[in-house]
Amino acid sequence: MTLAKDSNADVIVVEDDPFISRMYQVKLSKAGYHILMGANGKEGVKLINDNHPKLVLMDINMPEMSGIEAIQELKRQGYDFSKTAVVFLTNSNNPNDIEQVGALGGEYIVKADQTPRGVLELIQRKLGQVSS
Amino acid sequence: MLKLLTYAPTIAVMLVISVLLFVNAGKDNAKRSFAMTSIAITLWISSLGLADTTTNADSALYFVRQAIFIANLIPIFFLAFSLFFGKDFLTHNMIPRLVLISVLPVTLALLSFSDQMVSVVKVEEFGATIQQSGYLYSIHSATSLLFFCAAFGVMLYKRKRTDGVTRNQIQFILAGAGTAYIANLFSGTILSQSSSQGPAILFGTVSIVVFAAVVSFAIIRGRLFDVRLATVRVVTFLLSVGFLAALYGFIAFSVAEQFFFKTIFVTQFSQQLFNTVLAVILAFTFPWIRRFFERATDRVFYRDRYDPQVVISDIGRVLASDIQLESLSKKVVRILEEKMRVGGTNIVVLGYEKEQGDEKEGSGKPQIFFQTYREKKQHAYKIEDISTLRLPVTVADELAASNERDMLERHNIRVALSLRTKEEFTGYLFLGDKRSGDIYSDQDIQTLRIIANELAVAIQNARSYQEIQLFNETLREKIRQATKDLTHANKELKALDKAKDEFISMASHQLRTPLTAVRGYTSMVMDGDFGKVTGEQKDTLKQSFDAATRMTRLVDDLLNVSRIQSGKFRLERAEVDLNKILPEELGLIETTATAKNVKVTYHAPKDPVPLLMIDEGKTRQCLMNLMDNAIYYSSTTPSGGKVDVYLEADKDNVSFRVVDNGIGVPKDQQAKLFKKFYRAPNAQKTRPDGTGLGLFLVGKVVRDQAGKIIFESTEGKGSTFGFSLPIKAAGEGLNPEKDAEAQVATKA
């Protein structure tokens, strides 16, 4: 997995579970999106700062730095989220997380309830909004 | 004058003693005989007095004979007294014998007026003396001697066999009577033959004074015959009267000297007026004078005088107002020492070592539980010593020489009272010497008995109170310990509960992640992301996908129940389109329905129902749970399972209903159906692997979203399950905190 700079990156997936991250990578790549992958919050912060993607799929429970902490960190650094949509993906269903996500202004998706196609449709809808 | 001074007080004192003894004698033979002795002595000394003061020889002879008459009777009474007094060693069949031996002196008495007794009496300067006496006089003297010797013998015998107060009293009487008799014998018998008899008779009279004094002392100090108070009062009265008489006489005499005898104009009237005024003055001064003498005599005779009523009422007040054992005991001791003027007072409270299982009050081995002034070494009582004191009152002076008496002596205890209630032996009240040095009177003992009775009850109460206090303290300690244990247990339980929640949360998270991958990849294969799939493959994959979805829901159910338990269950409201999600959920159950041979028909609304602000995930679970149940419980219907799903809307509500032709819910089970883990018996039979969580969660979710459960069922016919959710009110105002946060989030 590379953390290469890629100004064409459309979507950055930050997910610690390799099975799931690969699943989204495959689905989104097949749909024609340019994907970059991060395995934890720290990597996510660097990737987002470097590439300014149109959308981030951010897992919450990850080692080293959680997805919520990563977005908080970026906000603290002054990252402009007006051109980057954030969709939190989680399986924890933790009410605290949901509140924090709400406060950060992101979308919240329970992975287990979704299929990759559902996620793809959500991304298409979101990116349509961003690009328009 | 000398004669008058000798006789008058002696006669007066003897008269007082005699009268008082006689009045107080009652049925006591000892008192009666002593009273008779005193009266006889009084009469005898009076006769002698008259004989000595008269100037006429004939009169003198008469009075002397009268005196001899009485003198013959005195030994009888005295012997009787000696026999009756003290302990009854010799009283058996006494009176007939006494009568028998009294024949001689009585005969002599009757012969007193014969010439064979006394024939000539000479009147001299000092008084009458017997000039000529006959043989009867000698018999009289010998008889008297014999009787007195017998009486003294009896008294000495008794003295040896008695202790304490009685012994003291016998000693007083022996001393008094002995002195008097020997002196009298000396003057009357021996000196009567000599030339100068006058002073000898006087000597004999003085001997009676000694007797009177000794007897008086015995009465006052030795508690003889219990007439002390009366004696003292009479003496006071006589002193007062005598003083006033002297004063009256002196004033009357000197005033008369000054005024009346020197003036010629004295009238009968003025003399009378003067006497009247003087009498009035005396009448008014008498009480004052008497009080003065009372106080004076009290100081002499009653240094320890106190009012028993005051002492008893003071102690009663303390006992009524104090319940603390130590303080009430100390207060009582103080009152006794100050008001009753006794020393060495100590209250000893007994405790009982209770044997295991021995619950009876006052049983067990007695111990000294508490005593006032324990710091004093001489009061270090030993329980073995004092527990021998079993009588209500033990007066040390009245005890025969014994270990008990030695023990009381050792501890300076004069009086020991047992403190006893009806139920319990509570302890002892010990008293030392009276401050006055007197011995304890009957009145003291009576007062102490009353106090001891009250004290015993008060001590018992105080001890009960103390026991209750102790019990309370023990109870409080136990409660404290139990509370501590419970708090600890509660803390542990809370920690355990938290750990459980965390575990479930973690476990469900861990379960969900692989399920996500299974569902995700399966769906991607179905979507053709990894190459073209045939229809058959797609159907197979769909079964796999649906099973994974169902498992996801089960995990969600568990997680939600855990959340409800820990109060962390929350709804995440968002706009939800039931028109869209219901067919999706129907799609998920399709495979199951087909496999179970149940025909599911969706009756879609004519117009789409409005969007609702509800929790999508949890509402999906509700839809799924109800439809899933309907499929399972109608799959055994012989004519084939049939499930109809309705989505409808009216002005206010959107309702969702699932109607099946399944097993139905027995009437008596319906009320319990929405309870957690509850499963109706017929449902258990049909579907043994159900969790009993589905309907519970539906109920919770619907209620929390201000909806209503729709439920009706007939056993064996089928059921209708569903819910209706309000269109406008759904969510609004139900969770204001959450709404406020959402607004903030929107602004951010």
CB contact under 8 A, B517 and A95: no
Question: Does the pLDDT of residue B204 top 60, yes or no?
Answer: no
Is A58:A106 a contact under the CB 8 Å cutoff? Answer: yes
Would you call A29 an interface residue with chain B, using a CB distance cutoff of 8 Å? Answer: no
Where does the pLDDT of residue B724 fall: very low under 50, low under 70, confident under 90, or very high at 90 and above? very high
Other beta carbons within 10 angstroms of residue B480's beta carbon come to: 10
Would you call A122 an interface residue with chain B, using a CB distance cutoff of 8 Å? Answer: no
CB contact under 8 A, B521 and A23: yes
Whole-number average pLDDT of chain A: 84
Shortest Cα distance from B720 to chain A (angstroms)?
27
Question: Does the pLDDT of residue B197 top 50, yes or no?
Answer: no
The encoded tokens of residue B498 equal 């938290």
Question: Does the pLDDT of residue B499 top 70, yes or no?
Answer: yes
- Give the C-alpha separation, A29 to B596, whole Å: 39
> What number is the average pLDDT over the span B19-41?
77
Which of B33, B35, B32 shows the shortest CA–CA distance to B15? Answer: B35
CB contact under 8 A, A103 and B516: no
- Give the C-alpha separation, A64 to A42, whole Å: 7
Question: pLDDT tens digit string along B438-477?
Answer: 778 888 888 999 999 999 999 888 888 888 988 999 999 9
Shortest Cα distance from B557 to chain A (angstroms)?
12
pLDDT at residue A2 in the model:
45
pLDDT at residue B15 in the model:
78
Where does the pLDDT of residue B739 fall: very low under 50, low under 70, confident under 90, or very high at 90 and above? very low
Contacts of B521 in chain A (CB under 8 A): 19, 23
> What number is the average pLDDT over the span B349-364?
60
Query: Who has greater pLDDT, B93 or B729?
Result: B93
- The rounded percent of chain B whose pLDDT value lies above 70 is 76
Shortest Cα distance from A58 to chain B (angstroms)?
15
Query: Who has greater pLDDT, B304 or B82?
Result: B82
Would you call B513 an interface residue with chain A, using a CB distance cutoff of 8 Å? Answer: yes
Would you call B570 an interface residue with chain A, using a CB distance cutoff of 8 Å? Answer: yes
Where does the pLDDT of residue B208 fall: very low under 50, low under 70, confident under 90, or very high at 90 and above? low
Q: If you measure CA to CA, which chain A residue comes closest to B568? A: A95
> What number is the average pLDDT over the span B366-377?
67
Beta strands at A35-38 and A11-14: parallel, antiparallel or unpaired: parallel
Which of B6, B169, B148 shows the shortest CA–CA distance to B71? Answer: B148
pLDDT at residue B77 in the model:
84
pLDDT at residue B579 in the model:
93
Would you call A81 an interface residue with chain B, using a CB distance cutoff of 8 Å? Answer: no
pLDDT at residue B656 in the model:
95
Question: pLDDT tens digit string along A20-63?
Answer: 999 999 999 988 899 999 999 999 999 999 999 999 999 988 88
Beta strands at B573-576 and B612-615: parallel, antiparallel or unpaired: antiparallel
Would you call A1 an interface residue with chain B, using a CB distance cutoff of 8 Å? Answer: no
pLDDT at residue B353 in the model:
65
Question: pLDDT tens digit string along B392-401?
Answer: 888 887 777 7
Is the confidence metric ipTM above 0.90 for this complex? no
CB contact under 8 A, A27 and B529: yes
Q: Which of A61, A105, A115 sits opposite B519 (nearest CB)?
A: A115
Question: Does the pLDDT of residue B259 top 90, yes or no?
Answer: no
Would you call B376 an interface residue with chain A, using a CB distance cutoff of 8 Å? Answer: no
> What number is the average pLDDT over the span B710-739?
74
Is B369:B391 a contact under the CB 8 Å cutoff? Answer: no
> What number is the average pLDDT over the span B16-27?
73
Query: Who has greater pLDDT, B329 or B376?
Result: B329
pLDDT at residue B733 in the model:
43
Q: Which of A26, A102, A111 sits opposite B529 (nearest CB)?
A: A26
Shortest Cα distance from A121 to chain B (angstroms)?
13
B533: CB partners within 8 A, 6+ apart: B525, B526, B541
> Burial letters for B417-440: b for 16+ Cβ neighbours within 10 Å, e otherwise?
bbbbbeebbbbbbbbbbbeeebbb
Q: Report yes or no on whether pTM surpasses 0.90.
A: no
CA of residue B722 relative to chain centroid, distance: 72
- The rounded percent of chain B whose pLDDT value lies above 90 is 17
Would you call A61 an interface residue with chain B, using a CB distance cutoff of 8 Å? Answer: yes
Torsion of CA A26, A27, A28, A30, to 10 degrees: 80
Would you call A110 an interface residue with chain B, using a CB distance cutoff of 8 Å? Answer: yes
The lowest-confidence range among A119-123, B726-730, B737-741 is B737-741
Question: Does the pLDDT of residue B271 top 90, yes or no?
Answer: no
The lowest-confidence range among B177-181, B427-431, B680-684 is B177-181
Which contacts of B637-643 are long-range, i.e. CB under 8 A and separated by 24 or more positions?
B637/B661, B637/B662, B637/B663, B640/B597, B640/B598, B640/B599, B641/B596, B641/B597, B641/B598, B641/B599, B642/B598, B642/B599, B642/B601, B643/B593, B643/B598, B643/B599, B643/B600, B643/B601
CB contact under 8 A, A116 and B508: no
The encoded tokens of residue B596 equal 């179970």
pLDDT at residue B734 in the model:
44
> What number is the average pLDDT over the span B502-514?
79
Where does the pLDDT of residue B82 fall: very low under 50, low under 70, confident under 90, or very high at 90 and above? confident
- Give the C-alpha separation, B516 to A119, whole Å: 12
Alpha helices in B260-301 (DSSP H): 268-301
> What number is the average pLDDT over the span B387-406?
80
CB contact under 8 A, B505 and A94: yes
A-facing residues of B in 254-313 (CB < 8 A) are none
Would you list the DSSP string of A29-89? HHTT--EEEESSHHHHHHHHHHH--SEEEEESS-SSS-HHHHHHHHHHTT--GGG-EEEEE
Contacts of A20 in chain B (CB under 8 A): 513, 516-517, 520
Among A93, A100, A101, A111, the residue to mutate for chain B (most B Cβ within 10 A): A93
B432: CB partners within 8 A, 6+ apart: B342, B343, B344, B345, B412, B413, B414
pLDDT at residue B241 in the model:
67
Whole-number average pLDDT of chain B: 78
Shortest Cα distance from A111 to chain B (angstroms)?
6
Question: Does the pLDDT of residue B583 top 80, yes or no?
Answer: yes
Question: Does the pLDDT of residue B198 top 50, yes or no?
Answer: no
Query: Who has greater pLDDT, B538 or B433?
Result: B538
Q: Report the SS3 class of residue B724.
A: strand
The lowest-confidence range among B211-225, B241-255, B650-664 is B211-225
Where does the pLDDT of residue B487 fall: very low under 50, low under 70, confident under 90, or very high at 90 and above? very high
Q: Report the SS3 class of residue B350.
A: strand
Question: Does the pLDDT of residue B190 top 50, yes or no?
Answer: no
Sheet with B653-660, strands from edge to edge, namely B598-603, B641-649, B653-660, B718-726, B708-714
> What number is the average pLDDT over the span B469-488?
93
pLDDT at residue B199 in the model:
46
pLDDT at residue B191 in the model:
42
pLDDT at residue B574 in the model:
84
Question: pLDDT tens digit string along B228-238?
Answer: 555 666 666 66
> What number is the average pLDDT over the span B142-159?
83
pLDDT at residue B708 in the model:
92
A-facing residues of B in 696-725 (CB < 8 A) are none
| Interface A-B: count of C-beta contacts within 8 A | 80
- Give the C-alpha separation, B592 to A109, whole Å: 26
Other beta carbons within 10 angstroms of residue A21's beta carbon come to: 20
B332: CB partners within 8 A, 6+ apart: B315, B318, B319, B347, B451, B455
Question: Does the pLDDT of residue B341 top 90, yes or no?
Answer: no
- Give the C-alpha separation, B581 to B656, whole Å: 12
Other beta carbons within 10 angstroms of residue B153's beta carbon come to: 12
Where does the pLDDT of residue B426 fall: very low under 50, low under 70, confident under 90, or very high at 90 and above? confident
Q: CA dist A79 to A14, A82, A83, B215, Å?
A: 17, 9, 10, 128
Where does the pLDDT of residue A75 fall: very low under 50, low under 70, confident under 90, or very high at 90 and above? very high
pLDDT at residue B91 in the model:
58
